[in-house]
Amino acid sequence: MTAPKALLSMGPGIADRLFTPVQRERLTALVDTDPALVAHRLADPGPEVAAALAGAELLITCWGAPPLTPDVLAAAPRLRAVVHAAGSVKHHITPACWERGVQVTSAAGANALPVAEYTLAAILFAGKNVLPAAHRYRRLRAPHDWRAELDGHGNYRRCVGIVGASRIGRRVIELLRPFDLDVLLFDPYVDAGAAARLGAAKTGLDELCARSRIVSVHAPELPATRHLIGAAQLAAMTDGTTLINTARGSLIDGDALLPELVSGRLNAVLDVTEPEVPPPGSPLYDLPNVLLTPHVAGSLGDEIHRLGDFALEEIARYVEGVPFADPVTPGDLARRA
């Protein structure tokens, strides 16, 4: 049986980090491809990429993949499937792909794992009030009655609110099971029974914000979720509540959040913001009650090889004529990031 031809298409430098030498060996054993040939652009490509695209049955994509426009698809008449070794496919899978009947799979599930792990760490640290305590300790540099100051904090029967039963949200709830925490869930697509089976109590968004001492956002970025956490939800939060966002910056009304953080009434762990990089003068960089990280909750370092393993498994299924384990359909995009 002749191996299908495949082409890698992603941003510069990504392919070198995605696959280890061993993974590259498996890739070339599965499909007819040159791992050193990576298409950074598909519209008006060079002759080598154009020839590979014309014969490709399978496209292996990752971050920075260019969009598969009608013109690109016309130049790829044999293309039947796209294996995306990352999360969202909204940046490069176009309506023309669905019209062509191209099969699509995404490593969103694999990429959810490190985000959930980051969130778990943030939740447990927030429960202990670690960030403000560490900043205060740095200022005091002297003995202090920390037990008295941190009275009321801790991770026993603390209420944690999860906004969105996405892949990441569900994984976070799963990771929280060993701990003595009360978990609330807001998701309009999940009923009370399904929430209970996940390990959470279903509730409305405003009630979740009012009852939870830690609120973690895991909803997809959609027009309906823009500023899902707005002034009313922030005002409902109890003093000292920690807001965690590893989803997208647009889900929180930043203009409403900033005064709450500057006043010290609320705390935040923000891996994403709107804009993605706050301006140099933003108070977010210096506030002692804010942990600001540069969108690193998702796969990085050796975690990227998990995405490579996922891609290889899906490629193997395609070669064997078996359905993808984690397919993406047009209907999924209305509820997924």
Catalytic sites, residue numbers: 248, 276, 295
User: Residues near 217 by Cβ (< 8 Å), separated by ≥ 6?
Assistant: 163, 164, 228, 229, 243, 244, 245, 246, 247, 251, 252
Q: Return the H-helix or E-strand segment holding 268.
A: strand 267-270
Main-chain dihedrals φ then ψ at residue 80, nearest 5 degrees: -120, -20
Characterize the bridge pairing of strands 38-39 and 58-61.
unpaired
Check whether the bond before 143 is cis (ω within 30° of 0): no
Q: For residues 238 and 151, give the distance between their C-alpha atoms in angstroms, rounded to a whole number.
A: 16
**What order of strands is seen across the sheet that includes strand 327-328?**
38-39, 6-9, 58-61, 81-84, 103-106, 327-328
Q: For residues 103 and 330, give the distance between their C-alpha atoms in angstroms, rounded to a whole number.
A: 10
Q: How big is the chain by its Cα radius of gyration, in Å? A: 22
Q: For residues 272 and 218, give the distance between their C-alpha atoms in angstroms, rounded to a whole number.
A: 12
Cβ-count burial of 320 within 10 angstroms (0-12 exposed, 13-18 middle, 19+ buried)?
A: exposed
- Cα–Cα separations (whole angstroms), residue 237 to 5, 206, 259: 54, 9, 14
Q: How many CB atoms lie within 10 A of CB 160?
A: 29
Residue type, 241: T
Nearest to 146 by CA among 161, 169, 130: 130
Is 86 in a helix, a strand, or coil? coil
Residue 249 near residue 271, CB atoms below 8 Å: no
